[in-house]
Structure 1
Amino acid sequence: MNGAEERMKRVLRVLGDDLWTLRAAPLPPSVWVRWLPHGLVCLVAAGTALASADQLVDNYRLGAQYGLLCSVAQGVAVVLALWRPVPAWWLSTVVTVLAALGARQEMLSDPSMGAHPWPWTASGVVAQGTVLLLLGLRVPSRVSAEALAVTVFVTWLVQGVIGSTEYQATGVLAVSLFAAVLLLGAALRGRREARYQLVEQAGITAEERARRTLLEERNRIARELHDVVAHHMSVISIQAQVAPHLVENPSDELRENLEGIRKNALEALTELRRVLGVLRSENPEDPYGLGAAGSGATPDAPQPTLDRLDALIDNTRAAGLDVVTLVRGKAPAYPPGMQLSAYRIVQEALSNALRHAPGSQVRVEVTHDRRGLSLEVTNSRPRGPVRSSPGAGHGLLGMRERAVMLGGHVAAHPTLHGGFTVLAFLPKDGTALPLTEDTGPPADLELIFPAPRPKPPTAQPPTGDETR
């Protein structure tokens, strides 16, 4: 008995799971759906052709051949309106006029026929209305208004000027319906065009925004590199001025050439200072003290190098992040532009962690080797509420621009633990290395944030691997 009860419970449970549910089960997308309007129009064409044949042959007594010919032509006009709305409208109008004139002849010859709808039959109104709706959806409003005006004129000419004996006048009703249908078609067409223009304008705006962001970031990089170039030009000027004093009895040609070098360097330096005065921003926003050096309140400050990473990280800690740094290898004499780019990459990665991962742990790893400089900035998942940041998207773009300029590359992707990592490599000699495709975080990625190692005693020399 227990076995039967268990089976019954399983059956009821299965039935409950299968039938007592509100799960959504939509139909799969089908290519036939886009042909649904065409199918509906074809059904309307078939229905109007059959109804028109019944009215023209039986009620108006136009004969089988004449009535069927007009009915088929009316149905063909409805189908033709899917591809050629203007010729379809002409065909439908001409067929209606021919059928109305034939019915008038029969009504005049046989007054006992009774009063029938004339000059527009019910099937004719449906067919002409469908054609006008398709015409209003496809052609400009001016063309739709012209077609309606011609239809009104033809209706007035047949009913008001030519006329007939006893009949049920349908001209006013038909014209009113045609005007409403054309107004609906024109409104739908205007809405479709407005939506298309909106989508097109949105695409153009997004493209312009991306282009502007790229140009702004390149402008900022060029502005900073002007400082480096200006420093070199200053050194050239000083060396050209000192060089004659280092040679015994320098010739006049040597003095003249060195004086020319010094003069050109000073002129170039003057021009660079003018360009810097135009490019530099007056009031950059820097709430955490991580902003660009050489701007704002101290526009003449030198551009930062790797020696100032400690101050940058101290400011980041003061802003609320737990930052651990790890330095591997001994730093060689990097070019100033490379040091500036490395500093900016770390700065931007820390700024992103402040904005998008408040309260997180951050590991900054700097590795020096014979090939160049490797940078890694990894943050854990945020511990505080993340506020919306309406930035211009300069962060990763600026990192990649700086790295590519020096022949390096940058990879950035989220981690499996909900954080984010930025990896950058800058070659020492500026030679671009073959890029590897960034396929996202590796499958075995684990975030480990090493605790700061104790500082070595002051009596011992520093080693190659140093944590600070």
Structure 2
Amino acid sequence: METGSRHRTVRRVLRWLRVLRDDLWTARADPLPPSVWLRWLPHGVVCLAAFGITVGGTAQLGDDGHLNGGAAFLIALGQGGAVVLALWRPIAGWWLSLAATVVGAAALHGRLGFDEFTWPWTATGIIAHLLVLLLLALRVRTRVAVEALAVTGLVTYVIEGLWGAANYLPTGILTASLSVVVVVLGTALHGRREARAELVQQAGITAEERARRTLLEERSRIARELHDVVAHHMSVISIQAQVAPYLVENPPEELKENLEGIRQNALEALTELRRVLGVLRSEHPEDPHGIGGAADGTAPHAP
């Protein structure tokens, strides 16, 4: 019994890990669409923020963290580049931001203890990761955003809670709290945008359905008028041509043939008129009889 329960737990964990891999281990493109009113202004603001993060992060890591200039610049560039990358590939940008933070925390770990320094998340690292999480939550499913938030919290706990350091200003709780707020905000905005898009789509479908119904009503009106006027007169002509020979004593054969020709032409015209009326009354003019469209375009023979 205990073995079966253990196996079920293992299967459940493996299934969750597979879902996590499918959701987060991807670099698929998901560009942030331009704003309806502001167009590309948000993209410009994000790129400007990324530049500020790179410059500020380089100064913070070099001056306060006592890293050499090259390492400080590369870590800060990773944080700023993650923000820009998140505009087009949010999950890849999130991975880059997380990786830059881990590398920065590892590089600073041996230098802590002399001066109090924000660790494991620097000030610029927090700003960068919050922007990345917001851009991610705006465009992915809620489950994926929550998974990214959970992995961020787990990495923060491992670095700050399990690994730890001496004489530093811990930023794990602050980062986790702000990340939750940002993900909730981004998810709410994402849901609002999806609801608005669905309303626009439904409005378009409603307008299209209204136009289709109007067209069907107009075609039905034309078909009704053709049936009441033209079909009635053609039926009268057919009947009169059939009766006419009996109204004349000993009618010549030529007269009979002409009257029979008139009757046949009237019947053929009635058959063609029935086909046209069927097309007008059908919702699918290309296949009015629902038989998949005959190759010769003719209707079935009318009885």
State the TM bucket, normalised to the shorter chain.
0.5 to 0.7
1:245 aligns with 2:247: yes
* Structure 1 position 226, deviation (Å): 0.8
Q: Decide which structure has greater strand share.
A: 1
Root-mean-square deviation (Å): 3.2
SS at match of 1:112: coil
Provide the residue aligned with 1:84 in structure 2: 89
- The amino acid across from 2:247 in the alignment is H
| C-alpha distance in 1 between matches for 2:192 and 2:232 | 57
Q: Which residue of 2 aligns with 1:217?
A: 218
Tell me how far apart the structure 1 counterparts of residues 83 and 168 of structure 2 sit (CA, whole Å): 26
Number of the residue aligned with 1:147? 148
Partner of 1:393: none
For residue 72 of structure 1, the aligned residue among 60, 74, 77 is 77
Question: Partners of 1:47 and 1:34 in 2: how far apart?
Answer: 22
CA distance in 2, matches of 1:54, 1:250: 116
Change (3 A) 1:249 1:78: closer
The question of 1:159 aligning with 2:164 is answered no
- The one-letter code of the counterpart of 2:244 is V
Q: Distance in 1 between matches of 2:244 and 2:197?
A: 69
Which of 89, 98, 104 does residue 93 from structure 1 map onto?
A: 98
SS of match in other structure, 1:248? coil
- 1:233 is displaced (CA, Å) by 0.3
* Whole-angstrom distance in 2 between the partners of 1:236 and 1:103: 102
Q: Distance in 1 between matches of 2:234 and 2:212?
A: 31
**1:249, distance to aligned residue in structure 2 (A):** 6.1
Distance change >3 Å, CA 153–CA 245, structure 1 → 2: same
Partner of 2:173: 172
TM-score (norm. length: structure 1): 0.45
> Matched residue pairs, number?
234
**Residue equivalent to 2:124:** 123
Counterparts of 1:264-283 in structure 2, within 5 Å, are none
Query: Which amino acid in structure 2 is aligned with residue 79 of structure 1?
Result: V
- Show the counterpart of 1:138: 139
Distance apart, 1:40 and its partner CA: 1.2
Q: Which runs of 5+ in 2 are unaligned?
A: 1-36, 282-303
Whichever residue aligns with residue 185 of structure 1, its letter is G
Conserved 8 A contact 1:244-1:250: no
Q: Aligned partners of 1:231, 1:152: CA distance in 2, in Å?
A: 84
The whole-number CA distance in structure 1 between the counterparts of 2:42 and 2:190 is 16
Asked if 1:232 is matched to 2:237, the reply is no
| CA drift at 1:88 | 1.5
The answer as to whether partners of 2:78 and 2:96 remain within 8 angstroms in 1 is yes
Structure-2 change in CA distance of 1:97 and 1:237 (3 Å): same
Structure 1 alignment gaps of length 5 or more: 1-31, 280-468
State how far apart, in whole Å, the 2-side matches of 1:40 and 1:249 are.
97
Which protein has greater RCO, CA pairs closer than 8 Å, 6+ apart?
Answer: 2
TM-superposition CA deviations, 1:202-251 (whole Å, max 9, x none): 22322221122111111111112211112330342144223222141677
In structure 1, what is the equivalent of residue 64 of structure 2? 59
Counterpart AA for 1:230:
H
| Secondary structure of 1:62 counterpart | coil
Q: Deviations over 1:45-76 (max 9, x none)?
A: 12222322232222222222222221122112
Q: Deviations over 1:436-461 (max 9, x none)?
A: xxxxxxxxxxxxxxxxxxxxxxxxxx
SS in 1 for 2:188: helix
**Separation (CA, whole Å) in 2 of partners of 1:54 and 1:248:** 120
Q: 1:249 to 1:129 in 2, by over 3 A?
A: closer
How far, CA to CA, are the matches of 2:134 and 2:243 in structure 1? 86
1:350-407 Cα shifts (integer Å, max 9, x gaps): xxxxxxxxxxxxxxxxxxxxxxxxxxxxxxxxxxxxxxxxxxxxxxxxxxxxxxxxxx
Matches of 1:75 and 1:88, distance apart in 2: 10
Cα displacement (A) at 1:126: 0.5
